[in-house]
Chain A
Amino acid sequence: MKRSTFNLPLTTLTHLSAWLPLAIGLWDLWQGNLGPDPIREATLRTGKSALILLLLSLACTPVNFIFKYRSVLKLRRPLGLYSFMYASIHFAIFIGVDYFFDFGLIQDALLEKRFAIVGLSTGIILLFLAITSTKGWQRRLKKNWKQLHRLVYAAGILAVTHYIWLVKQGVSQPWVFAGILVLLLSMRVKPIKNWAASLFRQLSSQRA
Chain B
Amino acid sequence: MKKILPSEITPENIYLSRRDFLKSMGIVTASAAVLAACGPSAPLTSSPELTTESAGTTPAAPMANTDELGDPLNSFDDIANYNNYYEFTTDKQRVADLAEGLQTSPWEVQVGGLVNNPKTFSIDDLRKFEVEERIYRMRCVEAWSMVIPWMGFPISKLLAEVEPKAEAKYVRFETLVDTDQMPGIKKNPWYQWPYIEGLRVDEAMHELTLMATGLYGKDLLPQNGAPIRLVVPWKYGFKSIKSIVKIDLVTEIPTSLWMAAAHNEYGFYANVNPEVDHPRWFQGSERRIGELGRRETLVFNGYKKEVAHLYKGMDLAVNF
Interface positions of A (Cβ within 8 A of B) = 35-37, 39-40, 97-100, 102, 105, 108-109, 112-116, 165-166, 168-172
Could you write out 8 A-B pairs with CB less than 8 Å apart? A97-B292, A97-B293, A98-B287, A99-B294, A108-B282, A108-B284, A114-B279, A172-B188
B75 to chain A, nearest CB (A): 8
Instruction: Give every chain B residue within 8 A of A114 (Cβ-Cβ).
Output: 279
Cβ contact within 8 Å between B282 and A170 = no
In the complex, the number of residue pairs spanning A and B with C-beta atoms less than 8 Å apart equals 69
Known contacts A100-B292, A169-B261, A170-B190; A35 and B280 CB within 8 A of each other = no
Cβ contact within 8 Å between B282 and A109 = yes
Instruction: Give every chain B residue within 8 A of A166 (Cβ-Cβ).
Output: 280
Interface string of B161-203 (1 = CB under 8 A from A): 0000000000000000000000000001011000000000000
Interface positions of B (Cβ within 8 A of A) = 77-78, 81-82, 86, 90, 92-93, 144, 188, 190-191, 261-262, 265, 277, 279-282, 284-285, 287, 289-290, 292-294, 296
A165 to chain B, nearest CB (A): 7
Cβ contact within 8 Å between A171 and B293 = no
Instruction: Give every chain A residue within 8 A of B292 (Cβ-Cβ).
Output: 39, 97, 100
Cβ contact within 8 Å between A102 and B294 = yes
Known contacts A36-B78, A108-B282; A99 and B293 CB within 8 A of each other = yes
CA gap between A65 and B284 in the complex, in Å: 49
Q: Which residue of A lies closest to B260 (CB)?
A: A169
Known contacts A36-B82, A37-B287; A105 and B294 CB within 8 A of each other = yes
Cβ contact within 8 Å between A169 and B144 = no
Instruction: Give every chain A residue within 8 A of B279 (Cβ-Cβ).
Output: 113-114
CA gap between A105 and B277 in the complex, in Å: 14
Cβ contact within 8 Å between A113 and B82 = no
CA gap between A166 and B281 in the complex, in Å: 8
Cβ contact within 8 Å between B280 and A113 = yes
Q: Which of A35, A37, A114 has the most CB of B within 10 A?
A: A37
Q: Which of A35, A36, A40, A99 has the most CB of B within 10 A?
A: A36
A123 to chain B, nearest CB (A): 17
Instruction: Give every chain B residue within 8 A of A170 (Cβ-Cβ).
Output: 86, 90, 188, 190-191, 261
Cβ contact within 8 Å between A39 and B287 = yes
Cβ contact within 8 Å between A40 and B144 = yes
Known contacts A36-B77, A98-B287; A168 and B144 CB within 8 A of each other = no
Instruction: Give every chain B residue within 8 A of A168 (Cβ-Cβ).
Output: 261-262, 280
B223 to chain A, nearest CB (A): 12
Cβ contact within 8 Å between B282 and A100 = no
Known contacts A102-B293, A102-B294, A114-B279; A35 and B82 CB within 8 A of each other = yes
Q: 8 other contacts beyond A35-B81, A98-B293, with CB at 8 A cut-off?
A: A35-B82, A35-B93, A40-B144, A100-B294, A109-B284, A168-B262, A170-B191, A171-B90
A167 to chain B, nearest CB (A): 8
Give the residue of B191, B281, B284 whose beta carbon is less than 8 angstroms from that of A105. Answer: B284
Q: Which residue of B lies closest to A166 (CB)?
A: B280
Instruction: Give every chain B residue within 8 A of A169 (Cβ-Cβ).
Output: 190, 261-262, 265
Instruction: Give every chain A residue within 8 A of B261 (Cβ-Cβ).
Output: 168-170
Instruction: Give every chain A residue within 8 A of B293 (Cβ-Cβ).
Output: 97-100, 102
CA gap between A37 and B191 in the complex, in Å: 26
The 5 closest A-B pairs by CB, nearest first: A100-B293, A36-B82, A36-B78, A109-B282, A169-B261
